[in-house]
């Protein structure tokens, strides 16, 4: 099944979800569950060769914390102030920054300063994660979303390795092969707010920073469309191959990568992309990717809207 739940996740999921999970194992149907309200699989179309295992349609009254958690602050708590990219946002779980509205998840960036024990920022925004609650090895990951335009905005939908020491240390972030990016990173979609006609996908791998490397490719929308309209962004991650799509249009395939283990030796392919990864959705402001907003930029507050997120895996 290639799905990992930690002790924390088992506690959070609850008796009903666990009963569904173990019943699925017994029937070779790798169902994990459904966030929010409604029946599992209700209204979700099939994908040839893929079986739905988990989804969130964001149709409840609040974010389903059985599956989602929040990152806080400016990254200082995990040793990367500015989140490693000189970003300007401070992440919160405040209802003005992250909420459900009309069946959609909204991540909102606001121009307002924040300073406390979690760090500081010129803007507040939100980053939600399934870390510690839900992680997958391989699968199709897709989300339908509408993104905000404006220089310095950096919305993203991505996967990071599940920390191997998370149960012992809530601030642990290193995966099976070490820290970033030896254990890998899969960027399903990231966008520069100054370029509303394109998005991109990427993988990061190879070794710990600064000896890491990456591959990336951009997707340009057809004439008359931008990322300010809803589109479905997806990755199909299989052993030895990762494919990126926008509205089921394949635009990037990666088949070659490598990584170095903690002892400094090369690890057998397809490492590092052979371990559980968790899901991240966030709206960053500033940083190396798209630069910084001008003071009093007119596009704040800026909103990233997510209609659904769905995970499929190959039937066993």
Nearest-angstrom CA–CA distance, 123 and 77? 18
Q: Are 241 and 257 in contact (CB under 8 A)?
A: no
Report the alpha-carbon distance of residue 310 to residue 288 in Å, rounded.
Answer: 29
Judge whether 228 counts as a catalytic residue: no
From the number of C-beta atoms within 10 Å of its C-beta (0-12, 13-18, 19+), residue 25 rates as middle
DSSP code string of 237-252: EETTEEEEEETTEEEE
As a whole number of angstroms, the distance between CA 172 and CA 162 comes to: 9
Please list, residue by residue across 26-61, b when 16 or more beta carbons sit within 10 angstroms of its beta carbon and e when fewer do.
eeeebbbbbbbeeebeeeeeeeeebbbbbbbbbbee
Quick check: is 142 catalytic?
no
CB 182 within 8 A of CB 173: no
Give me the catalytic one of 185, 236, 303, 305.
Answer: 185
CA dihedral 267, 270, 274, 277 (to 10 degrees): 100
Selecting among 87, 190, 303, 305, the annotated active-site residue is: 190
Residues with a known catalytic role? 185, 190
């Amino acid at each position: 099944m290639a799905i990992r739940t930690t002790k924390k996740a088992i506690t959070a999921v609850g008796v009903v979800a666990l009963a569904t999970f173990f019943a699925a194992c017994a029937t070779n149907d790798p169902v994990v569950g459904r966030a929010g309200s409604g029946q599992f699989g209700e209204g979700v179309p099939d994908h040839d060769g893929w079986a739905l295992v988990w989804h969130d349609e964001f149709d409840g009254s609040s974010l389903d914390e059985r599956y989602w958690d929040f990152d806080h602050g400016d990254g200082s708590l995990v040793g990367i102030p500015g989140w490693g990219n000189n970003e300007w946002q401070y992440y919160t779980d405040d209802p003005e920054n992250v909420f459900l509205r009309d069946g959609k998840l909204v991540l909102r960036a606001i121009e307002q300063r924040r300073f406390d024990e979690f760090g500081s920022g010129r803007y507040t925004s939100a980053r939600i994660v399934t870390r510690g609650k839900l992680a997958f090895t391989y699968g199709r990951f897709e989300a339908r979303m509408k993104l905000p335009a404006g220089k310095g905005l950096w919305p993203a939908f991505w996967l990071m390795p599940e920390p191997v020491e998370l149960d012992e240390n809530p601030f642990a972030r290193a995966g099976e092969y070490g820290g970033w990016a030896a254990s890998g990173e899969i960027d399903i979609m990231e966008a520069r707010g100054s370029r509303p006609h394109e998005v991109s996908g990427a993988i990061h791998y190879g070794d710990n920073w600064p000896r890491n490397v990456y591959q990336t490719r951009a997707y340009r929308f057809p004439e008359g469309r931008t990322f300010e309209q809803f589109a479905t962004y997806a990755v199909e991650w299989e052993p030895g191959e990762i494919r990126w799509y926008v509205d089921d249009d394949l635009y990037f395939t990666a088949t070659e990568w490598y990584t170095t283990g903690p002892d400094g030796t090369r690890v057998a392919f397809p490492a590092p992309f052979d371990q559980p990864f968790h899901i991240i959705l966030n709206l960053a402001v500033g940083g190396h990717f798209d630069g910084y907003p001008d003071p009093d930029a007119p596009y704040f507050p800026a909103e990233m809207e997510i209609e659904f997120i769905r995970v499929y895996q190959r039937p066993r």
